[in-house]
Amino acid sequence: MTEQSARWGFPLLQAGQAQKELFHNEALARIDVIAQAVAEAAGVDTPPGDPAPGACWVIGDSPAGEWSGRARHLAGWTEGGWRFVAPVEGMTVWLADRGVPARFLGGEWTVGELRGDCLKVAGKQVVGARRPAIPGPAGGAVIDVEARTAINAILETMRAHGAIEP
Protein backbone atom coordinates (compact mmCIF):
# COMPACT_ATOMS: atom_id res chain seq x y z
CA MET A 1 0.00 0.00 0.00
CA THR A 2 1.25 3.46 -0.85
CA GLU A 3 1.90 5.81 2.03
CA GLN A 4 0.03 9.09 1.95
CA SER A 5 0.65 12.59 3.24
CA ALA A 6 -1.13 13.29 6.53
CA ARG A 7 -3.23 16.29 5.52
CA TRP A 8 -4.23 15.89 1.86
CA GLY A 9 -3.58 12.18 1.26
CA PHE A 10 -1.08 12.74 -1.54
CA PRO A 11 0.70 9.55 -2.58
CA LEU A 12 4.27 9.53 -1.26
CA LEU A 13 7.17 8.14 -3.27
CA GLN A 14 9.14 5.27 -1.80
CA ALA A 15 12.78 4.34 -2.34
CA GLY A 16 13.08 1.85 -5.17
CA GLN A 17 9.45 2.30 -6.16
CA ALA A 18 8.57 1.41 -9.75
CA GLN A 19 6.58 3.85 -11.91
CA LYS A 20 7.14 6.78 -9.58
CA GLU A 21 5.83 9.11 -12.26
CA LEU A 22 2.30 7.71 -11.79
CA PHE A 23 2.28 8.61 -8.11
CA HIS A 24 3.93 11.97 -8.74
CA ASN A 25 1.42 12.82 -11.47
CA GLU A 26 -1.50 11.79 -9.24
CA ALA A 27 -0.26 14.14 -6.53
CA LEU A 28 0.09 16.97 -9.05
CA ALA A 29 -3.44 16.37 -10.38
CA ARG A 30 -4.85 16.63 -6.85
CA ILE A 31 -2.77 19.71 -6.07
CA ASP A 32 -4.18 21.27 -9.24
CA VAL A 33 -7.69 20.76 -7.80
CA ILE A 34 -7.03 22.34 -4.38
CA ALA A 35 -4.38 25.03 -4.94
CA GLN A 36 -6.27 28.34 -4.88
CA ALA A 37 -9.43 26.26 -5.41
CA VAL A 38 -12.29 27.66 -7.47
CA ALA A 39 -15.48 25.62 -7.68
CA GLU A 40 -18.26 26.12 -10.21
CA ALA A 41 -20.85 25.65 -7.43
CA ALA A 42 -21.40 24.08 -3.99
CA GLY A 43 -23.94 21.54 -2.83
CA VAL A 44 -24.15 19.78 -6.21
CA ASP A 45 -25.07 16.09 -5.98
CA THR A 46 -24.92 14.99 -9.63
CA PRO A 47 -21.77 15.17 -11.77
CA PRO A 48 -22.12 17.42 -14.83
CA GLY A 49 -22.42 15.70 -18.20
CA ASP A 50 -19.50 17.30 -20.02
CA PRO A 51 -17.12 19.05 -17.59
CA ALA A 52 -14.12 20.99 -18.82
CA PRO A 53 -10.69 19.86 -17.58
CA GLY A 54 -9.83 21.81 -14.44
CA ALA A 55 -13.46 22.47 -13.46
CA CYS A 56 -14.36 21.70 -9.84
CA TRP A 57 -17.46 21.38 -7.67
CA VAL A 58 -18.16 21.12 -3.95
CA ILE A 59 -20.24 17.95 -3.71
CA GLY A 60 -23.47 18.11 -1.70
CA ASP A 61 -24.78 15.81 1.03
CA SER A 62 -26.47 13.22 -1.25
CA PRO A 63 -24.13 12.56 -4.16
CA ALA A 64 -25.11 10.25 -7.02
CA GLY A 65 -23.40 8.53 -9.93
CA GLU A 66 -19.61 8.80 -10.04
CA TRP A 67 -19.76 11.05 -6.98
CA SER A 68 -21.49 8.46 -4.74
CA GLY A 69 -19.85 8.15 -1.35
CA ARG A 70 -18.04 11.48 -1.70
CA ALA A 71 -20.36 13.81 0.22
CA ARG A 72 -18.85 17.27 0.85
CA HIS A 73 -15.66 16.44 -1.10
CA LEU A 74 -14.15 18.72 -3.69
CA ALA A 75 -14.48 17.05 -7.12
CA GLY A 76 -12.19 18.15 -9.93
CA TRP A 77 -12.40 16.96 -13.52
CA THR A 78 -9.04 16.13 -15.12
CA GLU A 79 -8.08 14.53 -18.41
CA GLY A 80 -7.73 11.31 -16.41
CA GLY A 81 -11.23 11.54 -14.89
CA TRP A 82 -12.53 12.72 -11.54
CA ARG A 83 -10.16 13.54 -8.69
CA PHE A 84 -11.65 13.86 -5.21
CA VAL A 85 -10.23 15.71 -2.24
CA ALA A 86 -11.73 15.24 1.21
CA PRO A 87 -12.05 18.66 2.85
CA VAL A 88 -10.03 19.52 5.94
CA GLU A 89 -10.93 22.02 8.63
CA GLY A 90 -10.43 25.56 7.35
CA MET A 91 -10.26 24.63 3.65
CA THR A 92 -11.52 27.54 1.54
CA VAL A 93 -12.90 27.42 -2.00
CA TRP A 94 -14.07 30.35 -4.14
CA LEU A 95 -17.54 29.70 -5.61
CA ALA A 96 -17.65 31.04 -9.17
CA ASP A 97 -21.44 30.94 -9.47
CA ARG A 98 -22.02 33.16 -6.42
CA GLY A 99 -18.77 35.13 -6.18
CA VAL A 100 -18.29 34.22 -2.50
CA PRO A 101 -16.01 31.92 -0.50
CA ALA A 102 -17.06 28.60 0.99
CA ARG A 103 -15.13 27.41 4.05
CA PHE A 104 -15.16 23.95 5.62
CA LEU A 105 -15.75 24.40 9.36
CA GLY A 106 -16.95 21.85 11.89
CA GLY A 107 -17.64 19.22 9.23
CA GLU A 108 -19.83 21.49 7.08
CA TRP A 109 -19.34 23.97 4.24
CA THR A 110 -20.30 27.52 5.19
CA VAL A 111 -21.03 29.62 2.13
CA GLY A 112 -20.62 33.39 1.93
CA GLU A 113 -19.63 33.91 5.56
CA LEU A 114 -16.66 36.06 6.47
CA ARG A 115 -15.35 35.71 10.00
CA GLY A 116 -13.04 37.91 11.96
CA ASP A 117 -12.64 40.07 15.02
CA CYS A 118 -13.33 43.35 13.25
CA LEU A 119 -13.74 44.98 9.84
CA LYS A 120 -11.23 47.60 8.80
CA VAL A 121 -11.46 49.93 5.82
CA ALA A 122 -8.34 51.89 4.87
CA GLY A 123 -6.74 50.75 8.13
CA LYS A 124 -9.55 52.10 10.33
CA GLN A 125 -11.92 49.83 12.24
CA VAL A 126 -15.50 50.39 11.09
CA VAL A 127 -17.18 47.36 12.70
CA GLY A 128 -16.10 45.54 15.82
CA ALA A 129 -17.47 42.94 18.19
CA ARG A 130 -21.16 43.01 19.07
CA ARG A 131 -22.07 45.27 22.00
CA PRO A 132 -24.68 44.68 24.72
CA ALA A 133 -28.34 45.48 24.08
CA ILE A 134 -29.50 49.11 24.33
CA PRO A 135 -33.07 49.66 25.49
CA GLY A 136 -35.36 51.88 23.46
CA PRO A 137 -36.50 55.23 24.85
CA ALA A 138 -39.31 55.12 27.40
CA GLY A 139 -40.78 57.42 30.06
CA GLY A 140 -39.82 61.03 30.70
CA ALA A 141 -41.91 64.16 31.24
CA VAL A 142 -41.85 65.27 27.59
CA ILE A 143 -42.43 62.76 24.83
CA ASP A 144 -40.88 63.63 21.49
CA VAL A 145 -42.44 61.19 19.03
CA GLU A 146 -40.09 62.09 16.15
CA ALA A 147 -36.98 61.64 18.31
CA ARG A 148 -38.22 58.30 19.66
CA THR A 149 -39.06 57.11 16.14
CA ALA A 150 -35.58 58.04 14.92
CA ILE A 151 -33.83 56.47 17.92
CA ASN A 152 -35.87 53.27 17.58
CA ALA A 153 -35.03 53.09 13.86
CA ILE A 154 -31.31 53.48 14.64
CA LEU A 155 -31.48 50.79 17.34
CA GLU A 156 -33.42 48.41 15.06
CA THR A 157 -30.87 48.88 12.28
CA MET A 158 -27.98 48.25 14.67
CA ARG A 159 -29.72 45.08 15.93
CA ALA A 160 -30.45 43.89 12.37
CA HIS A 161 -26.77 44.32 11.46
CA GLY A 162 -25.69 42.51 14.62
CA ALA A 163 -23.86 45.51 16.02
CA ILE A 164 -25.79 45.25 19.31
CA GLU A 165 -27.70 42.42 20.91
CA PRO A 166 -31.46 42.33 20.34
Q: What is the mean pLDDT of each run of 10 residues along the chain (166 residues)?
A: 70 76 77 83 96 94 97 92 92 96 96 89 84 84 87 90 83
Instruction: Check residue 11 and give its pLDDT.
Output: 73
C-alpha separations of 159 from 57, 79, 116, 135, 164 in Å: 36, 51, 19, 11, 5
Contact 71, 63 (CB under 8 A): yes
What's the confidence (pLDDT) of residue 126?
82
Give the C-alpha separation, 166 to 135, whole Å.
9
